[in-house]
Amino acid sequence: MAMNSLDQLFTHFLKDMYTAEKTILETLPKMAKKADSSELRKAFEEHEKQTKNHVKRLEQVFKLMDERVAGVPCKAIEGIVAEGKEIMNEAESADALDAGLIAAAQAVEHYEIARYGTMAAWAKELGMDEAAELLHETLEEEVETDEKLSELAEERINQEAA
């Protein structure tokens, strides 16, 4: 796919994130199932609901651009999810498992934050204000999720120290 201009790059990132969000949507229920802490499980379940909307918002952006909804392979998310699976398979204690799950989930959120930040800025640059708004809404939910995960991690560490 050509990536010679900002709009072509934007379309590429849109398709990349479409694949990423769909992969995340498949992965979150597995992570929820594995989580030992009920709070962590709830956080994953809550983010699964939000992620369904992230997919829908991307579909709206495709529509705004008169583009066919389609994904391209997203190597970054494949790698992050593969690493997460390794943690799920190898963490032996419940605490290590939850800490590992949080770390894996935060890597996903940070990838999303990086991409949505860029895409929202590019959409604005390209004069696509409605698309920028949609991307920004998702960006905010990713940031909130990342913060929630940090809180859970810190609470847990504090508990162990007590």
Q: Which residues bind Fe ion (CB under 5 A)?
A: 51, 54, 112, 142
Cβ within 8 Å of residue 20, ≥6 positions away: 74, 76, 77, 111, 112, 115
User: By C-beta, is 77 or 97 nearer to Fe ion?
Assistant: 77
User: By C-beta, is 88 or 108 nearer to Fe ion?
Assistant: 108
Amino acid at residue number 133: E
Q: What is the dihedral of CA 85, 104, 58, 3, to 10 degrees?
A: -90
Shortest distance (Å) from residue 62 CB to Fe ion: 16
- How many whole angstroms separate alpha carbon 75 and alpha carbon 61? 22
User: By C-beta, is 28 or 97 nearer to Fe ion?
Assistant: 28
User: By C-beta, is 45 or 95 nearer to Fe ion?
Assistant: 45
Shortest distance (Å) from residue 145 CB to Fe ion: 5
Shortest distance (Å) from residue 138 CB to Fe ion: 6
Shortest distance (Å) from residue 162 CB to Fe ion: 30
Measured from each CB, the residue nearest to Fe ion is 54
- How many whole angstroms separate alpha carbon 12 and alpha carbon 18? 10
Whether the CB-CB separation of 12 and 72 falls below 8 Å is answered with yes
